[in-house]
Amino acid sequence: MSHKSDLIATDIEAYLKQHEHKQLLRFITCGSVDDGKSTLIGRLLYDSKMIYEDQLSQLEADSKKIGTTGGDFDPALLTDGLKAEREQGITIDVAYRYFSTAKRKFIIADTPGHEQYTRNMATGASSADLAVILIDARHGVLTQTRRHSFIVSLLGIRHVIVAVNKMDIVDFDEQRFNEICDDYRSFATRLDLPDLHFIPISALKGDNLVDRSENMPWYSGSTLMNFLETVYIGSDRNLQDFRMPVQYVNRPNLNFRGFCGTISSGIIRPGEEIMVLPSRQKSKVKDIVTFDGNLDEAFAPLSITLTLEDEIDASRGDMIVRAGNLPRSRDHIDAMLVWMDSGAMVPGKTYLFKHTTQTLPGTIDTLKYRVDVNTLHREPAPQLELNEIGRVSISLSGPLHFDAYRRNRSTGAFIVVDRITNATVAAGMILDKSGDSDAKSIWDDDLQAHDSGDPNEVSAVTPEEREARFGQKPATILLTGLTGSGKTSIALAVERKLFEEGRAAAMIDGESVRRGLSRDLGFSVADRSENLRRSAHLAHALNQAGMICVASFVAPSEEVRTKVGKLIGEDRFLVVHVATPVNVCRTRDTKGQYAKADAGELLNFPGVTADYDEPANPDLTLDASQQSIDECADAIIKLLRTREVIR
């Protein structure tokens, strides 16, 4: 008997161990009112045998009393638990349900469809890996469908299933399904939904939920449950940038001092160097402590305690990061806000901004625009009302340590709290670019003048005459890369080779421009953009004179590089990416700039304390750690011949 009990215990332990290591998928259901979100979840749980007998008996009884299916089994009652929800047949609050299959564990958030509960939908979507957007086959894409789709895109949910529900009511018509798919795609092209799929279903009848529907033989894709079990979400997490906001300092005795927190992103191991923000003190990880023992490696989203080799002062609200990979630290940010309060947003009013474990007072300086969720057009507005979405500029009382929301959902998100009522009034997503609005407006003015044909570009010599005189076409070659990549040395070698061929060429670089034309600028995002704007005008002037301009700039922003190309003229603009690895660039740093950036003395240094966007489609990619300067220069000369700039 004892042996049998031991076997049973072993089987239970093995089952629990297997269940513990299943991957967890969080997903939401959203869409317009009465599209069948709660019915879908109830049916999924019912068909996957995840409803207990007593629950099932109660649901069958409730279906006869208050169901919306004429006395038949109503799956929606499983998640619509509030009395008001059952009375009205709608979802009001976010209902969370847990279930598992042999392949995965799931947490479902059933979100409300009514417009006045959009804030609840945004709450449910904030932690989701996947969204199921339901569309009633009778009604097609509605306003609330568009609103929820926009919020899903805004919140960075990469995987989206558009489930066209109630196909049984439209006689499982394939043409109707295709019409809805085409309508949704035309709207979704303006959204950031990288992994989009369409499935025709009947939530009430169970078609294409767990088992393939015999009523829709024309559909050959995956069932909903199969897709949920197999969709790959492993690459969605940021495992590059280590971020751990400190929640609590554990000091049980004189011999132990640990910093507790949940890892927001990245991986950490004992012995690795870290930095504590905002103090910028450095140390190394001594141990990674958990309740179950020390770990050799920890990653998001584990909750851990870090002990360090040095005595460093840190407290709740600080952030532990890798010394060579720092987040941005600013007291001014641009963000998208979803306003969640019945009282309108008041620009200039002081609110509390809760970001990770840090809370700072601050003000919403300006509302740059409000988004019309139906057309996705930007429109001016004095304030944001309940459930409205807009872009704002925020000033804080101290620096915030953050990543852009698109890069890191944990450190790129925040909530806004009213100081008087303590109510959460908004949810925010920090944008990639902050504090460069003035520079953008100047760029826009320049590009508008360029597109309309600037009347000041007058010359007594035609471009054809210059081309005939110099035997070349004007062009600008932008060499972009990290500091120390070798781009300036390559640019000088290209200029020399062109000169020796008798070409009319000039070389400009960031440092020389900053000593004269841009001596008034610093190194903020806005100032870097302005420096490149001025340099683009200089290159454009050289091209207008018929010359070839070889330009060497870090130029870290892909957006700004694109604007340079438009200003100069895309037909005469070439981008060369000098992609020398950063570890090699560090060894060539004669001015100690990387060391200063590591120490926090250079706050906007690309590759360390600021982002560097690698060119998406460069005309040429070089690696000065693998190729000599002369070989790189020859490759650029060859490119110029291929593009017929020179012959």
Please state the residue numbers annotated as binding site for GTP: 31-38, 110-114, 165-168
Please enumerate, by residue number, every residue annotated as part of a binding site for ATP.
Answer: 481-488
- d(CA 127, CA 52) in angstroms, rounded, equals 27
CA distance 29 to 645: 55
The 8-class DSSP code of residue 253 comes to E
C-alpha span between 112 and 119 (Å, rounded)? 9
CB 467 within 8 A of CB 562: no
d(CA 306, CA 290): 9
Give alpha helix (H) positions in 432-524: 437-451, 463-470, 487-500, 510-515
Angstrom distance (rounded) from CA 55 to CA 47:
14
Token pair 């559909």 is found at: 219
Asked if residues 345 and 384 have their Cβ atoms less than 8 Å apart, the reply is yes
Helix axes 174-188, 143-154, angle to 10 degrees: 50
Euclidean distance between CA atoms 603 and 329, whole angstroms = 8
Q: 383: Cβ–Cβ under 8 A, 6 or more apart, which residues? A: 344, 345, 346, 347, 367
SS3 for 316? coil
Binding residues: 31-38, 110-114, 165-168, 481-488
Count of C-beta atoms within a 10 Å radius of residue 560: 25
Q: How far apart are CA 355 and CA 338, in angstroms?
A: 15
Please say whether the beta carbons of 268 and 298 come within 8 A. yes
CA gap 511, 509 in Å, rounded:
6
Q: Which residues of 517-529 are buried (b: 16+ CB within 10 A; e: fewer)?
A: ebeebeebbbbbb
Beta strands in 372-497 (DSSP E): 378-379, 389-402, 413-417, 424-430, 475-480
Q: What tokens were used for 234?
A: 């492993």
For the beta carbon of residue 19, count every other beta carbon within 10 angstroms. 11
